[in-house]
Structure 1
Amino acid sequence: MVTEKAEQILNGAMPEFLQNGYACTSMDKVAKSAGVSKQTLYSHFSDKDGLFTALVERIATEKFNLVWSHPLEGQPEEVLRDLAKRLVKENINDNEYLCFVRLIVAESGKRPDLAQLFLKKLCQPAVIILTQYLQEHPELNIIDCEATARIFVGSLIHFMLVQEVLSGKEIMPIEEDRMINSLIRLIINQKELLTVISNS
C-alpha cells in the first residue's frame, strides 16, 4: 500500500519526468518538486528506476480502475458503447496522461520492461475482462472472443494515439462517435459480416 508520503513524492515526480524525460530527471529535482528531503525520498524509493517504475504502475492502475471498475452488465451494444465512450473520455481529455504515454513510448526502446509493466497493469486485464464478457454472450456468435476483445481495445487505443499523441487530428481527423459506432457495428454484426464473406 502506498503511504501518504510516497504519494506526495510520486505527485512531485510526475511533472519532473514529463518536463525533463527519464534521463534528465534527477532525484534532487524530484525531492525539491515533492517538497521532501533527499533522505525521505530515498527512504521510500531507493533510486530513480524504482521511483519511475512505481509511477508507471500507479498511473496504469489508476486508469484501469477509472475505466474498468464498472461492471459490464446489460445488452452488448449498450455495454460496448458505454465502455468505449468511457475509455476514450477518461484518456483523451487527460493531457497529463497522454504526455506520460509519450514518455513510456519514448523510453520503451531502452526500458521495454516498463512498457510491459504498463501493458500488464492496464491493457492485459482489460482484454481479459472484455473477453469474458463476450464469452458470456453467445448470441453475438463471436468465433474468437479474445481476438475481438483485442480489436476493440486496440482500436480505441490506436484512435487516441493517432489523434492525440501523434497529433493526427490535424491531418486525418475523425469524430469520436463515428469511430465508436463503426467499431460496435463490426462486433455486433460479426455474424452477418462472416456470412457475406463466406458467400462472396
Structure 2
Amino acid sequence: MPSAEAAANGARGLRTLRKRNAILEGARREFLRHGYAATSMDRVARAAAVSKATVYSHFSDKEALFRALTEQLVGERLSELFGASPREALPSEPAAALRELAARCLASREGQPPFLSFLRLVIGESERFPELARTFVAQLERTGVAQVVHLFEALPAGPDAEMRARVFMGALVHLILMQDLLHGREVAPVDRQTYAAVLVDLVSRVG
C-alpha cells in the first residue's frame, strides 16, 4: 500500500492538474470570446474560478498561457486524427491510413469544433500578433507534419515524401478553409468523401 505521504502527494498532484486544466479551459473561452489582446489574466482567473496568483503559478504570462493552450488543442486534434489508443489507430497499410486520415480530417460535425474555433482565432490575430501564429504552426510542424510524412515514407518509392505530405495536408486545409472557416459549403458544395478519395489517389501514385 502507498504511504500516507505518497497518497498526499498524489492528491496534491491531482488538484494541481485539475487547476491547470481549469485555467486552460477558462483561457480558451476568454480568448475565443474576447480575442487575444482583450483577454487578461484577471479574466482568465475569473473564468477558471481560481485566484490570479494561481494562474501565475502555472503560467508566467499570457503568451505562455496561449502557448500551452495551443499545445493542448493541437494535441487533442492530432489524437482525434491519428488515434489516442491502439483501438483508434489508423490502419497499418499506408494508403488505407491516408484514406482514413483524410476522412477523419474532413468529417462533418455539429457545431464548430474547438480546434477550428481556435484556428479562426489564430488567423484573425496573426497580423497583430505574428508570434502566436508562429507558435501554432511550430506545434503542427513538430507533431502532425512528421506523422503524415511518415505515412508517405511507407508508401512505394515515389516523389519526395515530405512534399507529397505537404500537398496532401494543404489540399485538406484548403477545403476546410473554404467550407468551414469561410462558411462556403453552399458556394463550394464539394462532396468530402469523393474529395478525400481523389486526393489520396493522386498523392499516393508512383511515377
Are 2:199 and 1:183 equivalent residues in the alignment?
yes
Tell me the percent identity: 38
2:102 alignment counterpart: 84
Are 2:147 and 1:129 equivalent residues in the alignment?
yes
Higher mean displacement: 112-121 or 5-14 = 112-121
Of residues 64, 72, 83, the one that matches 1:58 is 72
User: TM-score, with normalisation over the residues of structure 2?
Assistant: 0.80
Cα gap change, 1:120 to 1:90, in 2 (>3 Å) = farther
Matched letter for residue 88 of structure 1: L
SS of residue in 2 equivalent to 1:169: coil
1:169 alignment counterpart: 185
Deviation at 1:51, TM superposition (A): 1.6
Cα gap change, 1:75 to 1:44, in 2 (>3 Å) = closer
Matched letter for residue 62 of structure 1: E
CA distance in 2, matches of 1:135, 1:93: 35
CA distance in 2, matches of 1:4, 1:127: 30
Are 2:114 and 1:96 equivalent residues in the alignment?
yes
2:26 alignment counterpart: 12
1:46 alignment counterpart: 60
Contact 2:90 2:100 in 1 (8 A): no
Cα gap change, 1:26 to 1:147, in 2 (>3 Å) = same
CA distance in 2, matches of 1:90, 1:53: 27
CA distance in 2, matches of 1:99, 1:165: 8
Are 2:175 and 1:156 equivalent residues in the alignment?
no
CA distance in 2, matches of 1:168, 1:82: 24
Deviation at 1:41, TM superposition (A): 1.7
Deviation at 1:120, TM superposition (A): 2.2
Deviation at 1:81, TM superposition (A): 0.9
SS of residue in 2 equivalent to 1:170: coil
| CA offset digits 1:128-154 (Å, max 9, x no partner) | 22222322232xx42111111111111
Higher mean displacement: 35-44 or 122-131 = 122-131
1:194 alignment counterpart: none
User: TM-score, with normalisation over the residues of structure 1?
Assistant: 0.82
SS of residue in 2 equivalent to 1:142: coil
Cα gap change, 1:47 to 1:170, in 2 (>3 Å) = same
1:28 alignment counterpart: 42
Q: Structure 1: any 5+ residue segments left out of the alignment? A: 192-200
Q: Structure 2: any 5+ residue segments left out of the alignment? A: 1-12
1:145 alignment counterpart: 161
CA distance in 1, matches of 2:188, 2:21: 39
Higher mean displacement: 61-70 or 147-156 = 61-70
Contact 1:134 1:145 in 2 (8 A): yes
CA distance in 1, matches of 2:48, 2:165: 39
Cα gap change, 1:125 to 1:97, in 2 (>3 Å) = closer
